[in-house]
Structure 1
Amino acid sequence: MNTNNATRPTPKAATHFNPTVDVRQDQPVANASHQAAPILIDGCDTLVKLWRQNCLKWDSKIAHREKQLGIWQSYSWLDYYQRAQDIAMGLVELGCQAGDTVSILSEDNKEWLYCDMAINGIGAIANGIYTTDSASQLVYLLSDSQSRFLIVENDEQLHKFLSVRQQLPHIAKVIVFDKKGLRDLVDDDILFLDDLYTLGMAAPDAATRFAAAIAATQPEDIRTLIYTSGTTGNPKGAMITQRNILAQLQNLQPVLDVHSDDEQLCFLPLCHMLERLVSVDMPIHHGCYVNFAESIETVFDNLCEISPDTFTAVPRFWEKIYASVINLRADAGGFSQWMFDQAIISGHANNNSPRPSLINRLQLKFWDLLVLRNLRKLIGMNNIRRALTGAAPISPELLQWYQAIGVTIYEGYGMTESAGVISVNTGQEMRVGSVGKPVPNTQVRIADNGEILCQADSIFFGYLNLPEKTAEDLKDGWLHTGDVGELRDGYLYITGRIKDIIITAGGKNITPAAIESQLKFSPYIGDAVVIGNQRKYLTCLIMIDQDNVEKYAQNHQVNFSDFKSLCQAPKVLKLIEQVVNDVNKQFASVEQIKYFRLIDVLLGAEDEELTATMKLKRSLVEQKHHALIDSMY
């Protein structure tokens, strides 16, 4: 392995790439676009062909970095290809065939990507599973996908499988990345990654057979299964083809300025469509450097260490950075607070004026030199060229605040079923509050009921084993997104989800997303769910931001012993009441929140009330906390 630590290398020229896999014979053809002519990127009609072509072309150029013993280590594109080949041929030796599903249960790391492309390279289907999923959820996902092989990161994830292995007789072999805590394990059904590498390297004619398998891939092959969050039932396995991914890469090329020497940080789960697109597929296309965060707890530190050129995150992450900065301001002295405020005011003044005056520009330059430049360095954004947000609504005020400090965040919109991006704001065309204009080769229209419909070559093949659900979401070649929105001057605006629309007892239709976004702009509120369907008035369940509210409590002599007592403290309730009152002023009386309650149970990634992107699941929250809701009526 190449372990050069170091400064950014001089990149070689970038190219593009494409993947394919044999679609299972028992799957109905759900999307007619998959019958169309292939999409070519650099002469490749599948992602995995493009990957092989670029790995061999870029050779020793850095592809990935990962921390080991506190030091960033580098791994080349040739490492990427060779390790994937070893895994692929090892799986073949174990009996894996084209069309088989192989599931990956691991946090983000380079091995995740090696396995992903190895699986695709032999025509098999990669299925990512969230590490926060329970053992019972694991049974469902492995059974529904009929996975023949399971790849897990460590002993924790292996034990999850072992607790339910009797329910999964179709799993032929489990491969484990990390031997720590498992060195004495003897089990014929379990193999360590090092042993799989050895098996693959010993396979006869490995290089020739792997190259031939890649060459045999087709645009209609399933590149990956992406399971939706399942907020209203069991997760659905969206089948994303090689053609879908190439269409997405082709559509994004004119609107996102991706450079071959871009540094980026990978930290969202790789089984989520957004992270898969930005940390796997786009780097294969452009040759970016992907740095893996050590863990979700170290993302902020890693961000400062890498200082990426491009960075993609969900709104909750941007909210956390903002809240941290506001807390630092609160701890600063009076003069420092004044300087910070003046710098923000100057940033807003310049951004809000189509033609800032010379005085305004000079003032901003002064405050940028004195305050804002250091602030961007503090949060790891001093090199940022393109920051993106997606997967959930974000407050326009938050975007404006980031603009004021010199970090422009481009909001986009997409979903698993669109294989990523449907629309996005760009440096050339941006309107805060919208999710941008549809990307090239993508048609968007609004149905009579306000639902957003989309048509593009990137639209998914259908849901695995669910032809009825596929038929519900794919009608006459259009994807019915379930989101409500409108088009203004070519820009798409999302107003909510059809299933989330509240119809009050008075017959008023209210989309709660805008209210919830305004509440979450407060550093003291982590998430909120507005209630009121068939009721006389609106109420709200609120999840406070633990870190920021604890800090507030400490600064204001609020006694608490645990999270529950913190949520019950009168001063904390008064604090949240003030936030709610301030937000109410921005809405009509029928849209104002009359009462609220705090969810006094600390929720984490493992809790079923939260999605993988840390959003509250409305239906589950309403079910679990019905007593709190009833107390407000």
Structure 2
Amino acid sequence: MGFRRVFDILLHQAAHYPQKNALSLKKGHRQVVFSTHHCLQIVEELSAGLLDLGLKKGERAAIFADTGSPEWNFIDLSLQKIGAIVVPVPAVVSTEDLLFILKDSEAKICFAGSPDLCRRVQAVRASLVHLKYLYALEPVPDMPYWESLRTLPTEQHLRKFNTYKAVLHEDDWATIVYSNVDGMPRGAWLSHKNLIHNVRALIKLYGLNCDQRVAGFTSLGYLPERLLVYAALAVGASVFYGEKGRGNVRWMGEAKPHFIVSSPRIPEEWIEKKQKKAADGTTFRQRKTKWAIAVGAQYPDAGQWTLAYWVKWRMARFLVFRKWRKEWGGSLRGVLVEAGFLPPSRVRLLTAIGIPVFEFYGPSAAAGLVCANAPGNLKFGTAGKPVPETYIEIQAPQESGTGQIRIKGPQVAQRLEPPAGENSTSITPDGWLLTKDRGRITGDGFLEITNHDFMGVRASLGEYVSLQTIEYQLNATPYIAQSLVLGFERPFLSALIVPDMVRLKARCLSEKIWWTSPRYVVLDPQVRALFQAVIDEQNKAYPAAWQIQKFTLLAEGWEEMTTEPTPEWAPSRAGILKKYHKEIDKMYR
């Protein structure tokens, strides 16, 4: 394939697969469409404006946005075109982490995606000596708009573009991706070569081509989402971005995408809504939905189908699943979800519905993709097999075959900063990436993630416990908005739980439980009994070391999420632990 650097991708599309609809954005009731030619024109004009601003090769530029958009792509590709290093900042970061990332990366310019995000950058700007410019991606009063940078390229600009095209190498830095490690952000410096290797792997794994459509469903600050969009642009697949809104699938019927990247929470919440809607319906509807979900959760692996199951599945599809599938556009061939967070039964159910989920694994330090399930090469409950030219080993495996995952391949970063502790993710002199994640390789070569250790602890019984896996499952249950599971250097697991006050109020009123205000309701014995039942049900799915023994209900949550948190950007634990240390200490007395 004729592209070696990220900024070559759009030129490659223009040469081989020019599209009338290369990028599009849903705005209210209309679709804003950009052709390949229009995209190239905007990128050139924006690159010229960035050069006039004084941005140079190797300088850093941050993009702080809560959703993906064509504007995000234009700015990203324009920065890459002149050799600048792109620093995506997840919208879920705390103010403290935002300050750290902008300061650590020495970002010279920042593009902020919404008025609220602009205000957050403005609040810390006085502490950022390197940050010279701040532009808004949406019109914001008294703030320069990104389009004001667009400049008609002159002969001098074009000469500079040709110079950069000649001198920029595939080993030059393309982006710095920060993830939350040990309670603090840490940046993986990735080259064009790191990213392009995984872009080509996605194209090969899923057979992406110019007749397909990809939907931008999460933030482009999430590296796997960015890789899928790059892959789509490379093969001429149309990329659709929807309206803002966490996990909003309403516009999917119009986009009819073939592939998306999703946070694990989005399909979980969608299924939960379906269950709730059925529970409010007739008895027949309740029983029909419950039966169909039970059938879907038993969806078999390839080669293990029986005639009896096939008949039940066809009936479930006719009665329930065919309508559900249409809500996701009806054309999906793959929903890419990070492995280790969705229960296998959920993955089977979604696949049975006609929403095929392919779990993958890839830390930021390996450019977001190391192994993946794919059509014809799928095993539920695993992260799939290594992508081409990638090696995975299990270091110091236990009797069960479980151990620390280490990775080697063209996608592995050569630089991680700032240096972290002795037990953190690191890169050996011979190029092996030592992750904090634990897993095992099955007999048929699939990687099974047993613990994402960036949110894991070793329990008192000696077993590794993935706190984030438990949190994801708690947050997917009714009445829980946020949760934080504790267990590091503790005799048992406990949890801080923030109820979903809207649903809890409705439940209290229906059961004649006195409702006053959140601060008093969380102390009510009947409310505590309701959450104890939720915890008890959750505990049934886990061994003893993974079960929550005590919990505390909180009247208000931690910092509000503006977008769906991705696995490596859960809320900062350090700040929450500090704020609620009295409540935590009380549970362990």
Whether these two folds match at TM > 0.5 is yes
Residue aligned with 2:135, SS: strand
1:511-569 per-residue CA deviation (whole Å, 9 max, x = no partner) reads: 14465555455344455444334444333333445555455445434443554455444
1:485-522 per-residue CA deviation (whole Å, 9 max, x = no partner) reads: 111121112222446554455x5334144655554553
Q: Does 1:474 align with 2:423?
A: no
Post-superposition offset of 1:417: 0.5
Give the equivalent residue in structure 2 for 1:488: 442
1:346-398 per-residue CA deviation (whole Å, 9 max, x = no partner) reads: 43455379554445434433332232111222x32522111121176222232
Post-superposition offset of 1:60: 4.1
Residue aligned with 2:266, SS: helix
Give the equivalent residue in structure 2 for 1:578: 533
2:357 is aligned, of 394, 409, 413, to 409
Q: Give distance in 2, aligned partners of 1:373 and 1:229.
A: 39
Residue aligned with 1:255, SS: helix
1:451-474 per-residue CA deviation (whole Å, 9 max, x = no partner) reads: 110001001121246499899600
Give the equivalent residue in structure 2 for 1:168: 128
Q: Give distance in 1, aligned partners of 2:121 and 2:543.
A: 51
1:258-298 per-residue CA deviation (whole Å, 9 max, x = no partner) reads: 2323323223222221222122x212222222222221257
Q: Give distance in 2, aligned partners of 1:125 and 1:229.
A: 20
Give the equivalent residue in structure 2 for 1:425: 373
1:109 is aligned, of 55, 69, 74, to 69
Q: Give distance in 2, aligned partners of 1:381 and 1:567.
A: 40
Give the equivalent residue in structure 2 for 1:72: 31
Q: Give distance in 2, aligned partners of 1:404 and 1:575.
A: 32
Give the equivalent residue in structure 1 for 2:55: 96
Q: Give distance in 2, aligned partners of 1:370 and 1:84.
A: 48
The two structures, once aligned, show a CA RMSD in angstroms of 3.2
Q: Give distance in 2, aligned partners of 1:486 and 1:503.
A: 17
Give the equivalent residue in structure 2 for 1:196: 149
CA distance change for structure 1 residues 340 and 381 in 2, over 3 Å: closer, same or farther? farther
Q: Give distance in 1, aligned partners of 2:388 and 2:302.
A: 30
CA distance change for structure 1 residues 157 and 576 in 2, over 3 Å: closer, same or farther? closer
2:188 is aligned, of 238, 242, 245, to 238
How many corresponding residue pairs?
A: 579
The aligned runs of 1:12-411 (5 Å cut-off) are 42-107=1-66, 108-133=68-93, 137-182=97-142, 191-197=144-150, 200-201=151-152, 203-207=154-158, 209-233=160-184, 235-279=185-229, 281-297=230-246, 299-348=248-297, 351=300, 354-358=303-307, 360-377=309-326, 379-390=327-338, 393-411=341-359
Q: Give distance in 2, aligned partners of 1:610 and 1:346.
A: 30
- Percent identity between the two aligned chains: 23
CA distance change for structure 1 residues 112 and 149 in 2, over 3 Å: closer, same or farther? same
Alignment-mate amino acid for residue 293 of structure 1: G
Alignment-mate amino acid for residue 35 of structure 2: S
Alignment-mate amino acid for residue 267 of structure 2: W
1:378-430 per-residue CA deviation (whole Å, 9 max, x = no partner) reads: x3252211112117622223223323433221111111111011111222122
Residue aligned with 1:201, SS: coil
Alignment-mate amino acid for residue 277 of structure 2: L
Q: TM-score, normalised by structure 2?
A: 0.88
Q: Give distance in 2, aligned partners of 1:154 and 1:302.
A: 21
Q: Give distance in 1, aligned partners of 2:473 and 2:93.
A: 30
Name which of structure 1's ranges 387-396 and 306-315 shifts more when overlaid on structure 2.
387-396
1:509 is aligned, of 441, 463, 470, to 463
Q: Give distance in 2, aligned partners of 1:502 and 1:564.
A: 31
Q: Give distance in 2, aligned partners of 1:303 and 1:549.
A: 30
Q: Give distance in 1, aligned partners of 2:563 and 2:251.
A: 28
Give the equivalent residue in structure 2 for 1:539: 494
CA distance change for structure 1 residues 431 and 560 in 2, over 3 Å: closer, same or farther? farther
Q: Give distance in 2, aligned partners of 1:267 and 1:440.
A: 26
Q: Indicate conservation of the 8 Å contact 1:560/1:569, yes or no.
A: no
Q: Indicate conservation of the 8 Å contact 1:255/1:426, yes or no.
A: yes
Give the equivalent residue in structure 2 for 1:23: none
Give the equivalent residue in structure 2 for 1:19: none
Q: TM-score, normalised by structure 1?
A: 0.82
The aligned runs of 1:445-460 (5 Å cut-off) are 445-448=393-396, 450-460=403-413
CA distance change for structure 1 residues 545 and 401 in 2, over 3 Å: closer, same or farther? farther
Post-superposition offset of 1:91: 1.0
Q: Give distance in 2, aligned partners of 1:165 and 1:515.
A: 37
